[in-house]
Structure 1
Amino acid sequence: MSILEGSSILITGGTGSFGKAFIAYALEHLNPRRLVVFSRDELKQYEVRQLFHDDPRLRWFIGDIRDERRLARALHGIEYVVHAAALKQVDTAEYNPYEFVKTNILGSQNVIEASIDAGVKKVVALSTDKASSPINLYGATKLTADKLFITGNHYAAAYNTRFAVVRYGNVMGSRGSVIPFFAKLGASGEPLPITDLRCTRFFITLPDAVRMVVDTFELMQGGELIVPRIPSMKVTDLAHAVVPDAELIDVGLRPGEKLHEEMISPEEGRRAVTVAGGKYFIIQPDIASWGYKAPAGATPVPDGFAYRSDSNDTWYTQEEIVEIIKGGI
């Protein structure tokens, strides 16, 4: 039985791809007493309300995480928070850097402050592989947000609120996924543009991302940055899984894009352990005034460990990718 069952939960950015998948899982498996969807776009909220047939367990708050007072109102009586709201487009961030700072950094601090003030028990914030050794503005804002949530446990040391972060790679089936883009081009017989034919990526399915967040509420003491042990894939294998006979064109890496992705840097690896039978890595906090202790059964990773998509020991085959796509991801 999950600690989330029968509880009061709020999700920021709740009308996005992850949010909709989390709502569906929560309504089916967790039976929340109240699930508050906090997001900015009234049209998306209307569409998601229709998707879930105005389930009476759902509550709908129009609001922006940049507005701490609105957050405070929405968090009244909330026990658990999933923080999924963020600006995420790498190229858009390069052109609009301060907008990303205001949402991803200042908005995250608002979530931290408002959660402590409201007496929330646990907060899990969603991060990205781009926050590890960031080379673009988006990744830098998410790394800063990660640091804020981890150190938020210092602010909350005298309170009951605890914060943890989950970091995973690209999500198959999400709104920004390349899969429908490839499928659309393939249907018209056009070649598929690949930023670099050598590219490798981490991919996780939406259901696995949701289950990871639910697991994190169970695992966390506060201060953890949790990373899933998931397969890598070659981008060329993904392209041919979507359109088997497609011509692939190497168009070059975009500004701020990595050839291979990283979820645990060598520096973070010094504080990493595996838990849950190797299912997850935990990057432990280096300073923990709130009394963090390494979880029972945790196994330290080898010296010099880093977790990169090109040196991963587990890979999706093209056939496995096809099956995942056929299954509706």
Structure 2
Amino acid sequence: MSILHGSSILITGGTGSFGKAFIRYALDNLNPRRLVVFSRDELKQYEVRHLFNDDPRLRWFIGDIRDERRLARALHGVDHVVHAAALKQVDTAEYNPFEFVKTNVLGSQNVIEASIDAGVKRVVALSTDKASSPINLYGATKLTADKLFITGNHYAAAYETRFAVVRYGNVMGSRGSVIPFFRKLGEQGKPLPITDLRCTRFFITLPQAVKMVVDTFDFMQGGELLVPRIPSMRVVDLAHAVVPGAELVDVGLRPGEKLHEEMISPEEGRRAVVVRDGDYFVIQPDIASWGYSAPIGSTPTPDGFAYRSDSNDEWYTQEQIRTIIEAEL
């Protein structure tokens, strides 16, 4: 049974794609005593309340993670926190850097400090592959947030609160997924724009992302950065899986976009171990004053290890991609 079962949970950014999937899983499998949905958009909260038929276990807090006092109020009596709130669009970040810093960096610091003050037991923050060797502003803010959460364990060493991070790639079926866009163009008989025909990506489904977060709560000591071991896919294969035979047009990389994605850099690879029968990698903290130790049964990665979408040893075929899309979307 998960440590989350029967507990009081708060999720920031709870009306997003991941948030809705996590709420559904929690209500169906974790029977939370109370599940607090913290987000800033009243319309989305209204829609999600109706989506879950005003389940009495749900609580609704309008608020922004930039506001530490509002966080402190929402965290009263909370046992565990899932931190999913963030500004996420790569090209938007390039033109609005101050706003991304305020939410992704300063907002994350607020979550950390408010969680410690409220006596929260465990916090799991969601990261992104773009935080590894970042070349764009969004990735840089998420890398900073990752480091804040890991080092937050130093600040909380004399307290009960512990922090961990999960890092994964693009999510099939999320609000920002390219799949519905490709489908719409395919229905109109239009060519599909591909930023670069050589692009490779990591993709994960929403159920996989939720399971990873729940696993992390049960697994963590505090200080871990978990990365799923998942197949890569070529973007051209994804496009043809969504719209078979479609014409593809190379439109060039957008500002801040990578040709290939990376979830563990060579520098991080020196601290990485394999856990859970090879399901996950754990990037261990550099310094751990709170008593961290290597996970039981973990295996170190080989010298020079890095985890990139173009050099992965597992790949999705077009047929596998099509099967996943049909099952999940």
Structure 2 residue matching 1:237: 3-state secondary structure? helix
Q: 1:222-261: per-residue Cα shift (whole Å, max 9, x none)?
A: 0000000001000000000000011000011111100000
Map 1:2-151; keep pairs closer than 5 Å: 2-151=2-151
Assess if the C-alpha contact under 8 Å between 2:205 and 2:328 holds in 1.
Answer: no
Q: 1:181-211: per-residue Cα shift (whole Å, max 9, x none)?
A: 0000000000000000000000000000000
* Percent identity (aligned): 87
Shift of 1:45: 0.1
Map 1:188-199; keep pairs closer than 5 Å: 188-199=188-199
Assess if the C-alpha contact under 8 Å between 2:21 and 2:210 holds in 1.
Answer: yes
d(CA) in 2 for partners of 1:172, 1:7: 29
d(CA) in 1 for partners of 2:261, 2:277: 24
Counterpart residue identity of residue 197, structure 1: L
Counterpart residue identity of residue 240, structure 2: H
Q: Which residue of 2 aligns with 1:180?
A: 180
Q: What is the TM-score of this pair, normalised by structure 1?
A: 1.00
Shift of 1:46: 0.2
d(CA) in 1 for partners of 2:253, 2:89: 15
Q: Which residue of 2 aligns with 1:232?
A: 232
d(CA) in 1 for partners of 2:298, 2:327: 34
Q: Does 1:204 align with 2:195?
A: no
Any gaps of 5 or more consecutive residues in structure 2?
none
d(CA) in 2 for partners of 1:84, 1:239: 28
d(CA) in 2 for partners of 1:165, 1:12: 14
d(CA) in 2 for partners of 1:256, 1:94: 7
d(CA) in 2 for partners of 1:84, 1:328: 21
Q: 1:65-107: per-residue Cα shift (whole Å, max 9, x none)?
A: 0000000000000000000000001111011100000000000
Say which is worse superposed, 36-45 or 251-260, in terms of deviation. 251-260
d(CA) in 2 for partners of 1:44, 1:205: 22
d(CA) in 2 for partners of 1:199, 1:64: 35
Structure 2 residue matching 1:327: 3-state secondary structure? helix
Any gaps of 5 or more consecutive residues in structure 1?
none
Q: Which residue of 2 aligns with 1:321?
A: 321
Counterpart residue identity of residue 65, structure 1: I
Structure 1 residue matching 2:20: 3-state secondary structure? helix
d(CA) in 2 for partners of 1:233, 1:96: 30
Q: 1:144-197: per-residue Cα shift (whole Å, max 9, x none)?
A: 000000000000000000000000000000000000000000000000000000
d(CA) in 2 for partners of 1:326, 1:61: 34
d(CA) in 2 for partners of 1:223, 1:327: 34
Counterpart residue identity of residue 74, structure 1: A
Q: 1:29-52: per-residue Cα shift (whole Å, max 9, x none)?
A: 000000000000000000000000
Counterpart residue identity of residue 42, structure 1: E
Q: For the aligned residues, what is the CA RMSD?
A: 0.4
Q: Which residue of 1 aligns with 2:223?
A: 223
Once superposed, which parts of structure 1, at least 4 consecutive aligned residues long, lie more than 4 Å away?
Answer: none
Shift of 1:134: 0.2
Q: What is the TM-score of this pair, normalised by structure 2?
A: 1.00
Shift of 1:276: 0.3
Structure 1 residue matching 2:328: 3-state secondary structure? coil
Q: Does 1:270 align with 2:270?
A: yes
Assess if the C-alpha contact under 8 Å between 2:128 and 2:167 holds in 1.
Answer: yes
Q: Which residue of 1 aligns with 2:294?
A: 294
Structure 2 residue matching 1:239: 3-state secondary structure? helix
Q: Does 1:310 align with 2:283?
A: no
Q: Which residue of 2 aligns with 1:156?
A: 156
d(CA) in 1 for partners of 2:82, 2:253: 32
Shift of 1:328: 2.5
d(CA) in 2 for partners of 1:320, 1:96: 37
